[in-house]
């Protein structure tokens, strides 16, 4: 019997996961994965820690080489192969071999798209100068590390004050560089609550990161040696030896769109719960896709490795003949910013309002362990609730001592649609080194319940 041919496009994270799952589920499939770059299975989320030097060996970020994927997972891997076109009517791909520029055809029974995301650009002259970097591939990581090693930059400008901007600013401060973040809003990390963002701005300042607010980049001015020397903005001009662009990412879905695969309002591929696209025999997973927000029931764009992995397993299993489903995500994210733990689960106040919930919020700052224990730190819990259903819709948790892991507990509450009455009844641990008699979660919930009762 002929084996079922599964082709996978994209090798960074979701691709290898989907491919490995397909082989695991059904040994009677033949899986070939195409990747345009040289590296597959790369831990891009750990890259800031490699750049900081906290992870000393960058190569440990490579989970599997192409050879290992073949030997250990049974996947045929073709690196430096760029998929130019999908022809659904003929169940085939046109793939350019970047080594010799030939284009070959590959037929599939099932196709899995895991084309990932691409970093947003400034669209300014000199954006490709040799001291200007994105951070979205192994090549980027290696280039930044090489540049730091050889050119020993002392002044870094980070353009974009989101998630990656935060991590990179800490990484470069760890290397004792002067760090400036140029950001288009008043506060870093849009999407978090205002008070959380203010606390983050404070943490940046405390750690000597210059945060330039409400700034638009107008030009990148080169000096000697083809390097950008000045970043010109409406808020002043900033000298730089090293520039990192962290402007966010967008779905890399052009090849899918060309094949009439449906994309959503965020530009990501739309799939059903089985990760199937609107086109027969084509699945998609990872950062090229939109994902269902479990709280609103609507699609969102949230390029996270957790979501990519789960969706990839489902795509791989189904492409191999299984029947798996991925029900969506609540959004569960965290970031360490110097001494500050920051986590968000579920909806923001703004999102909850847009989704027509009747929003009530409560913020509480409380000790994360028994206050008289040495080094007791505080955490702040902000709960975002719906007044009609009394359900928890979202939360921010920030501070020290287990702020992030506490967010997971609230995440479960959000995912399981618990009401405030359920949450105040949660039986949480009290143990002096770990948590006070009333965990900050319960302190916040008790306060929120009173507010909901009054309103």
Give the residues lining the site for a copy of itself (CB under 8 A): 43, 45-46, 49, 54-55, 57, 60-61, 294, 304-307, 309, 327, 329-336, 341, 343, 345, 370, 372-374, 402, 404-409, 411-413, 415-416, 418, 422, 425-435, 437-439
Of 234 and 306, CB closest to a copy of itself: 306
Count of Cβ atoms closer than 10 Å to residue 403 Cβ: 24
Rounded Cα–Cα distance for residues 332 and 302 (Å): 10
**Which residue is associated with the tokens 């009844």?**
425
Of 126 and 408, CB closest to a copy of itself: 408
Of 114 and 132, CB closest to a copy of itself: 114
**Which residue is associated with the tokens 């390097």?**
227
Of 240 and 366, CB closest to a copy of itself: 366
Nearest alpha-carbon partner for 183 in 170, 203, 201: 201
**What is the nearest approach in angstroms of a copy of itself to the Cβ of residue 295?**
10
Of 46 and 139, CB closest to a copy of itself: 46
**What is the nearest approach in angstroms of a copy of itself to the Cβ of residue 429?**
5
**What is the nearest approach in angstroms of a copy of itself to the Cβ of residue 292?**
11
Of 215 and 343, CB closest to a copy of itself: 343
User: Residue length, the chain?
Assistant: 455
Of 94 and 334, CB closest to a copy of itself: 334
Of 76 and 408, CB closest to a copy of itself: 408
**Which residue is associated with the tokens 């052009």?**
254
Q: Which two tokens stand for residue 372?
A: 């008289």
Of 108 and 398, CB closest to a copy of itself: 398
**What is the nearest approach in angstroms of a copy of itself to the Cβ of residue 10?**
17
**What is the nearest approach in angstroms of a copy of itself to the Cβ of residue 328?**
8
**What is the nearest approach in angstroms of a copy of itself to the Cβ of residue 319?**
20
Residue spans of beta strands (DSSP E) within 286-331: 291-292, 299-300
Helix (H, G, I), strand (E, B) or coil at 373: coil
Helix (H, G, I), strand (E, B) or coil at 442: helix
**What is the nearest approach in angstroms of a copy of itself to the Cβ of residue 352?**
17
Helix (H, G, I), strand (E, B) or coil at 257: helix
DSSP one-letter code for 372 = T
**What is the nearest approach in angstroms of a copy of itself to the Cβ of residue 405?**
4
Residue spans of beta strands (DSSP E) within 71-177: 76-79, 81-87, 92-97, 103-107, 110-113, 117-119, 132-133, 155-159
Rounded Cα–Cα distance for residues 254 and 233 (Å): 31
- CA 180, distance to chain mean position in Å, is 22
**What is the nearest approach in angstroms of a copy of itself to the Cβ of residue 372?**
5
Handedness of CA 135, 141, 142, 146 (dihedral sign): positive
User: What H or E segment, with its residue span, contains residue 236?
Assistant: strand 236-239
Count of Cβ atoms closer than 10 Å to residue 420 Cβ: 26
User: What H or E segment, with its residue span, contains residue 394?
Assistant: strand 392-399
Rounded Cα–Cα distance for residues 426 and 429 (Å): 10
Of 70 and 336, CB closest to a copy of itself: 336
Nearest alpha-carbon partner for 265 in 301, 311, 294: 301
Of 97 and 408, CB closest to a copy of itself: 408
Nearest alpha-carbon partner for 116 in 258, 279, 311, 331: 311
**What is the nearest approach in angstroms of a copy of itself to the Cβ of residue 43?**
8
Of 225 and 433, CB closest to a copy of itself: 433
Phi, psi for residue 180 in degrees, rounded to 5 = -120, 130
Count of Cβ atoms closer than 10 Å to residue 143 Cβ: 16
**What is the nearest approach in angstroms of a copy of itself to the Cβ of residue 217?**
28
Phi, psi for residue 441 in degrees, rounded to 5 = -60, -45
Nearest alpha-carbon partner for 126 in 160, 159, 173: 159
């Amino acid at each position: 019997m002929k084996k079922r041919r599964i082709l996978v496009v994209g090798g960074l994270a979701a691709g290898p996961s989907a491919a490995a799952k397909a082989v695991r589920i059904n040994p009677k499939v033949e899986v070939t994965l195409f990747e345009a770059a040289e590296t597959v299975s790369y831990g891009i989320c750990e890259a800031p820690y490699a750049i900081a030097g906290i992870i000393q060996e960058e190569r440990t970020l490579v989970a599997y080489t192409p050879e290992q994927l073949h030997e250990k997972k049974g996947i045929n891997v073709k690196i430096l192969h760029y998929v130019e076109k999908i022809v659904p009517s003929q169940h085939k791909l046109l793939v350019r071999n970047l080594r010799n520029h030939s284009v070959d055809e590959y037929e599939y029974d099932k196709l899995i798209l895991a084309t990932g995301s691409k970093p947003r650009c400034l669209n300014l002259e000199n954006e490709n100068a040799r001291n200007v970097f994105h951070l979205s591939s192994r090549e980027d990581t290696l280039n930044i590390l090489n540049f730091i090693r050889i050119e020993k930059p002392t002044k870094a400008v980070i353009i974009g004050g989101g998630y990656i901007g935060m991590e990179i600013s800490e990484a470069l401060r760890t290397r004792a560089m002067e760090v400036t973040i140029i950001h288009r809003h008043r506060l870093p990390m849009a999407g978090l609550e205002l008070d959380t963002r203010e606390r983050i701005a404070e943490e940046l300042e405390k750690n000597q990161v210059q945060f330039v607010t409400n700034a638009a980049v107008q030009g990148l001015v080169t000096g000697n040696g083809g390097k950008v020397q000045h970043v010109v903005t409406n808020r002043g001009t900033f000298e730089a030896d090293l520039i990192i662009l962290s402007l966010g990412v967008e779905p890399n879905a052009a090849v899918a769109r060309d094949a009439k695969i449906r994309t959503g309002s965020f530009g990501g591929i739309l799939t059903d719960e089985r990760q199937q696209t609107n086109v027969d025999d084509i699945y998609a997973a990872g950062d090229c896709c939109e994902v269902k927000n479990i709280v609103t029931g609507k699609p969102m764009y949230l390029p996270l490795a957790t979501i990519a992995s789960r969706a990839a397993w489902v795509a791989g299993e189904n492409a191999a003949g299984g029947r798996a489903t991925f029900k969506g995500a609540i959004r569960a994210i965290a970031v360490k910013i110097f001494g500050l733990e920051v986590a968000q689960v579920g909806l923001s106040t703004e999102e909850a309002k847009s989704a027509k919930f009747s929003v009530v919020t409560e913020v509480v700052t409380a000790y994360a362990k028994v206050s008289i224990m040495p080094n007791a730190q505080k955490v702040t819990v902000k709960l975002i609730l719906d007044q009609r259903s009394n359900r928890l819709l979202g939360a921010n948790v920030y501070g020290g001592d287990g702020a992030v892991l506490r967010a997971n507990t609230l995440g479960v509450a959000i995912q399981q649609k618990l009401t405030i009455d359920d949450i105040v009844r949660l039986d949480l641990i009290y143990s002096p080194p770990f948590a006070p008699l009333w965990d900050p979660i319960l302190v916040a919930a008790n306060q929120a319940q009173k507010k909901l009762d009054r309103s």
